[in-house]
């Protein structure tokens, strides 16, 4: 086999193996989030399957090209069908609990694909007899790793951004089917199998969806609802989770937490002609039909604005929109705001890990103008008894001191919790009042 063809095959293997891992992590976001407790095991299991594939490939002693051609064809089928949105969504809908669906997906799709592709390099190096062993393995690993690099960069930064996740899935499936053709004997059976896998992957991934739109960051859906007392209500869903609500009443009715935030800004704080920063765009309803202030939305997904304007708001957003990571923006911006609203979720209850730390809250403080207020929308247990709720609130108050905490749905297992912190607040030590040493009266007098 020509050397350049061998290198092309291992390049396709590297491109598609890491590409499949990135696509799998993206497909998991709507169902299990993107926290490190999800991504780390997923990457670890993928690498374990890849290592087992290397060991299996080392034991292959004959029919080298046929083995790799077969592996590529099966991998194309696993990628094209197993990584399709309809397959992943259906799996998590039918298999419960969620952790079991996750294990089925990893064990039934991602790990077998990694195991099959992991055999490629050790098998094909047997054909490089004109090279020293170290030279053969070195060049093979070079082209495989180069493929992994280009696959991760091009699929995440180009294909997913401009064409969507389904296009990235189809790209991997087609490349693997093409690789199997390059290795197999040229006959009608090999062509038929490759074309059949490619056609099946195309049908399932290019099937037009009038409901769900996927981007590199999230799945979006606008769902019509029936709610008493509302005119044509609709929900804006991000990663299968409710992000915003509105209807066509005049004035429109919004999600309860949005109406509460608007009440704080417009009535309680009486802000007018002020600059307000909103981290996490949601459905852009905070500023909808609200011309009295200047709103700046920051969201990492550049396509969320177009989707919201066309399908949800049915009108241009009120305010400006900046595509950026929330933490990077608050750290870099020189602008100061009378109010900063933090409403960042990757799914219904999942806030990205770098947006809950003490350092992030310190960065939000520097964006506040003198006398400014930080308003945070959290989704926590209604009684604030969970370890996560207590630690998150404690982290915020370690920076801002005592903040107002309002639970909007106290009887619900999960509730919107609005936290209000002021620029003037500072964390400080406290003293417990006891019968023996009770300084409540003195403290009250000094605070007036």
Whether the pLDDT of residue 89 is over 80: the answer is: yes
Cis peptide before 47 (omega within 30 of 0): no
Domain spans in the chain, listed from the N-terminal domain onward: 3-208, 219-422
pTM, to two decimals: 0.83
Q: What is the pLDDT of residue 289?
A: 93
**Alpha carbon distance 162, 215 (integer Å):** 8
**Alpha carbon distance 298, 367 (integer Å):** 13
pLDDT category of residue 435 using cuts at 50, 70 and 90:
confident
Q: Which residue has the higher pLDDT, 88 or 187?
A: 88
Assigned token pair, 99: 């952790």
Whether the pLDDT of residue 127 is over 90: the answer is: no
**Alpha carbon distance 410, 383 (integer Å):** 6
Query: In a 3-state reduction of DSSP, which class is residue 432?
Result: coil
Evaluate whether 304 touches 220 at the Cβ level (below 8 Å).
Answer: yes
**Other beta carbons within 10 Å of 214:** 22
For 219-422, which CATH superfamily applies? Vaccinia Virus protein VP39 (3.40.50.150)
Radius of gyration of the chain (CA): 27
Cis peptide before 251 (omega within 30 of 0): yes
**DSSP of 273-332, one letter per residue?**
S-EEEEES-TTS-TTTT-TTSEEEEEES-TTHHHHIIIIIISS--SSEEEES-HHHHHHH
* pLDDT tens digits, 279-298: 999 899 999 999 999 999 99
- For 152-161, 184-193, 366-375, which range has the lowest pLDDT when averaged over its residues? 184-193
Q: What is the pLDDT of residue 347?
A: 63
Q: What is the pLDDT of residue 419?
A: 96
Assigned token pair, 208: 């037009």
Provide the phi-psi class of 319: left if phi over 0, else alpha when psi is between -120 and 50, else beta: left
Evaluate whether 323 touches 300 at the Cβ level (below 8 Å).
Answer: yes
**Alpha carbon distance 384, 162 (integer Å):** 41
Q: What is the pLDDT of residue 131?
A: 67
- For 72-76, 127-131, 241-245, 375-379, which range has the lowest pLDDT when averaged over its residues? 127-131
**Alpha carbon distance 360, 419 (integer Å):** 15
Assigned token pair, 311: 């399908």
pLDDT category of residue 442 using cuts at 50, 70 and 90:
confident
Provide the mean pLDDT of the chain.
90
Give 3-208's CATH code, choosing from 1.10.10, 1.20.1250, 3.40.1350, 1.10.3470. Answer: 1.20.1250
Q: What is the pLDDT of residue 125?
A: 86
**Alpha carbon distance 433, 439 (integer Å):** 7
Chain centroid, CA 196 distance in Å: 32
In 3D space, the residue among 274, 239, 280 whose CA is nearest the CA of residue 257 turns out to be 280
Whether the pLDDT of residue 212 is over 70: the answer is: yes
- Cα dihedral 331, 337, 343, 346 in deg (nearest 10): -30
Mean pLDDT computed over 414-437: 86
In 3D space, the residue among 217, 215, 219, 223 whose CA is nearest the CA of residue 311 turns out to be 223
Mean pLDDT computed over 62-69: 90
Backbone angles phi, psi at 346, to 5 degrees: -95, -20
């Amino acid at each position: 086999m020509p050397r350049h063809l061998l290198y092309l095959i291992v390049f396709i293997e590297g491109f598609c193996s890491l590409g499949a891992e990135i696509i799998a992590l993206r497909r998991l976001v709507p169902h299990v989030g993107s926290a490190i407790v999800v991504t780390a095991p997923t990457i670890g299991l993928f690498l374990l399957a890849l290592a087992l594939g290397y060991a299996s490939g080392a034991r292959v002693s004959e029919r080298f090209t046929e083995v790799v051609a077969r592996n590529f064809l099966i991998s194309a089928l696993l990628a094209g069908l197993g990584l399709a949105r309809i397959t992943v969504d259906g799996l998590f809908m039918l298999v419960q609990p969620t952790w079991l669906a996750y294990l089925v997906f990893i064990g039934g799709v991602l790990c077998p694909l990694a195991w099959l592709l992991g055999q490629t390099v050790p098998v094909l190096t047997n054909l490089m007899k004109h090279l020293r062993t170290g030279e053969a393995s070195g060049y093979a690993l070079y082209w495989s790793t180069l493929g992994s690099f280009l696959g991760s960069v091009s699929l995440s930064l180009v294909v997913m951004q401009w064409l969507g996740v389904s296009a990235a899935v189809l790209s991997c499936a087609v490349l693997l089917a093409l690789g199997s053709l390059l290795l197999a004997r040229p006959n009608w059976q090999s062509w038929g199998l490759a074309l059949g896998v490619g056609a099946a992957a195309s049908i399932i991934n290019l099937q037009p969806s009038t409901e769900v739109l996927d981007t590199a960051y999230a799945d979006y859906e606008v769902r019509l609802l029936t709610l008493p007392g509302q005119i044509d209500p609709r929900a804006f869903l991000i990663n299968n989770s409710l992000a915003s609500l509105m209807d066509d009443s005049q004035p429109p009715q919004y999600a309860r937490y949005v109406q509460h935030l608007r009440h704080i800004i417009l009535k309680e704080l009486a802000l007018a002609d002020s600059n307000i920063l909103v981290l996490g765009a949601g459905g852009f309803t905070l500023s909808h039909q609200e011309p009295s202030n200047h709103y700046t939305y920051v969201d990492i997904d550049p396509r969320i604005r177009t989707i919201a304007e066309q399908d949800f708001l049915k009108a241009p957003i009120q305010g400006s929109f900046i595509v950026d990571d929330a933490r990077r923006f608050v750290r870099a911006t020189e602008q100061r705001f009378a109010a900063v609203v933090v409403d960042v979720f990757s799914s219904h209850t999942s806030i990205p890990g770098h947006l809950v730390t003490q350092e992030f809250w310190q960065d939000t403080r520097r964006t506040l103008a003198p006398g400014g207020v930080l308003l945070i929308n959290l989704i926590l247990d209604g009684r604030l008894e969970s370890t996560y709720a207590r630690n998150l609130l404690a982290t915020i108050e370690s920076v801002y001191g005592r903040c107002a905490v309002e639970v909007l749905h106290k009887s619900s297992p999960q509730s919107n919790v609005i936290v209000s912190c002021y620029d003037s607040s500072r964390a400080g030590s406290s003293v417990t009042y006891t019968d023996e040493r009770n300084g409540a009266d003195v403290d009250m007098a000094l605070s007036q």
